[in-house]
Amino acid sequence: MKPSKYRSVILKTVLVLAFYFWNVTSGSLGKTSSPFAFETLQIDPFSYRIDNSLSELEEFERLVSNIERLMNKYEINGASVAVTKNEKLVFARGIGYADVESGELVEPRHSFRIASVSKLVTAVAVMKMHEEGLLDIDGKVFGKSGILNDSIYLGYVDRRVEEITVRHLLNHSGGWNRRFGDHMFMPNLIAREMGAEMPVKVPDIIGFALSKRLHFWPGSRTSYSNLGYAILGEVIAKVSGIGYEEYVRSSVLEPLGIRNMQIGNNLKEEKAEYEVTYYEQYNAVKVSSVFGGNEKVLKSYGGNDIRALGAAGGWIATPSELLKLVAAIDGNPGVPDILSQETIDLMVNPHLSGGHTIGWRGADGRGNWWRTGTFAGTSALLMKQNNGISWAVLFNNSTFRGSAISREIQWEVQTALNSVNDWPDYDLFYYFDSMPFIFNNLAMK
C-alpha cells in the first residue's frame, strides 16, 4: 500500500535530515549555494549506487524482453536502459555483456560512448554561457573580432567565414555539408594537407576546413555538421579559459550530481572505470589508425578519434546520467531547470532557432524530443516524451543498420512502456544502499 501524502513528506524529510547529519558527523558536507546542493554532496555517483536487482520488476518485463529481442536480431552484446517518470528514475537496468571475453555483465554503473548525443551536452553548455552573459549566440565566431580570433584561425580563404555565428554552429547552418566527406573522419588527409602530426588535433581540423571554401552561405540553410560542434567545443574552451571538458563538467554536470560523465578515449586499454567494451558487426572493415602508421584497426578502437570528436561525439555516460540532464532542461516543474523556459523553447523549435533544433536531433512540436547517436561500436537513443516519460538506451555494438536502428529502438521501448499501468513510487536517483529502510518505504510521487 502506498504511504499517504503526509507520510511521504515525513519520510522525505527524514531521508534528507539523516543524510545531512551523516555528512556533518563525517565532515564531508560540501559547501555550495547551488539549488542542487543535496545532490552534489561527496558520495558515490547515483549510477554507482544502484544495480540491476532494483529494476527486476514485473511492470518492465516487456521492456527487457523487447530490448533482448532487438539485441538478438542484430547480435548486440550489451545494452543499458533507463526510464524516468515525472523526472524520477524508476528503472535502470543493464542487459547482456559489458565485456564478452571476461563475461562481465552490464550494470547501471557502466558507461557507454554516446556518440552524437554529446551534441546535446555541448548545446546546453553553450546556452548556459549565453544566459550567463559569457557569450552571445549571435556573436561572430571567426575573424579579427570573432571569438576564435587566434592567428591559427585567421588564414581562411572564404570571407563568408566571418559571417558564421555561434547560432549557426548550434543549428547546423555554419556553411559546411558532407558532400566531400566529414571533416571529423578524415584525419590522414588533414594531416597531409596541414603538415600536422597524427592524431590530428581539433585546431588542425578547423584550420583544414577554413582553408577551403564554404559549401553555402552561413545561415542560408542547414546541413548536419559534426565540424560545427567541434568548433563549439573550442568556443567554450576559449570563453571559459579552463577547457571544454572542464567547463562542462564543473558548470553543467557536477551541479546536477552528474560526476562520472567524461570524454572517452580511443583505445581499449584506456577505458574509464566501468566503461564497456565496444564491438562492431562481424564484417566490419578495418581502417588506418588515427595514430598514423601502416596498421589497420577497427574504427571502434583507433579508427575513429574519440578525443577529437569531443564536443561533437566524444562523451561517455550512463543512461541514468543522461536522464538526470534531461530532467534539468525539459521545462517540467518537478526538477529545477538550469536553463530558462525561453532557452528551452528555442532549442526545440526550429522556427525560433533558425531552421534546426539545437542540441536535440529533432522535435515534433507536440513536446516529444529525441537525440540519436551512432558510430562504430555504439548506438544510442535519448527520448523525452510529452507524457512525463523520458528514457535512454545505449548499446555497445554498432550494426549494419547504422543510425536507422533508432527507429526500431523507439518502437520497442515505447510499445513496452505503453503497457505499464502501475508505475513505481520511488526515485532511484535518491537511492542510498546504506539506508534502504528509508528508501524502500519512501513514495517519491
Q: Domain segments of the chain: what residues?
A: 52-121+246-424, 133-239
List the chain pLDDT tens, one digit each, 445 residues.
333 333 444 454 455 445 445 444 444 333 333 333 344 444 678 889 999 999 999 999 999 999 999 999 999 999 999 999 999 999 999 999 999 999 999 999 999 999 999 999 999 999 999 999 999 999 999 999 999 999 999 999 999 999 999 999 999 999 999 888 999 999 999 999 999 999 999 999 999 999 999 999 999 999 999 999 999 999 999 999 999 999 999 999 999 999 999 999 999 999 999 999 999 988 899 999 999 999 999 999 999 999 999 999 999 999 999 999 999 999 998 899 999 999 999 999 999 999 899 999 999 999 999 999 999 999 999 999 999 999 999 999 998 887 889 999 999 999 999 999 999 989 999 997 655 545 554 434 3
For the CA atoms of 398, 404, 405, 406, what is the dihedral angle to 10 degrees? 110
CA 261 to chain centre: 9
Joined grid coordinates for residue 312: 561533437
- Report the distance separating Cα 328 and Cα 393, nearest Å: 19
- Report the distance separating Cα 60 and Cα 376, nearest Å: 29
CA nearest to 143, candidates 159, 123, 126: 159
Neighbour-count burial of 132, counting CB atoms closer than 10 A to its CB (0-12 exposed, 13-18 middle, 19+ buried): exposed
Q: Is 115 left (phi over 0), alpha (psi -120 to 50) or beta?
A: left
- Its pTM stands at 0.89
CA distances from 171 to 162, 221, 226, 237, 274 (A): 17, 10, 11, 19, 33
CA 361 to chain centre: 12
CA nearest to 260, candidates 421, 110, 374, 97: 110
Q: Which residues of 231-243 are buried (b: 16+ CB within 10 A; e: fewer)?
A: bbbbbbbbbbeee
Topology (CATH level 3) of domain 52-121+246-424: Beta-lactamase (3.40.710)
The identity of residue 342, as a single letter, is E
Q: Which residue has the cell 546535446?
A: 120
- Report the distance separating Cα 44 and Cα 52, nearest Å: 17
CA distances from 131 to 54, 118, 344, 421 (A): 38, 20, 11, 40
Tell me the pairing of strands 315-317 and 262-263.
antiparallel
Neighbour-count burial of 2, counting CB atoms closer than 10 A to its CB (0-12 exposed, 13-18 middle, 19+ buried): exposed
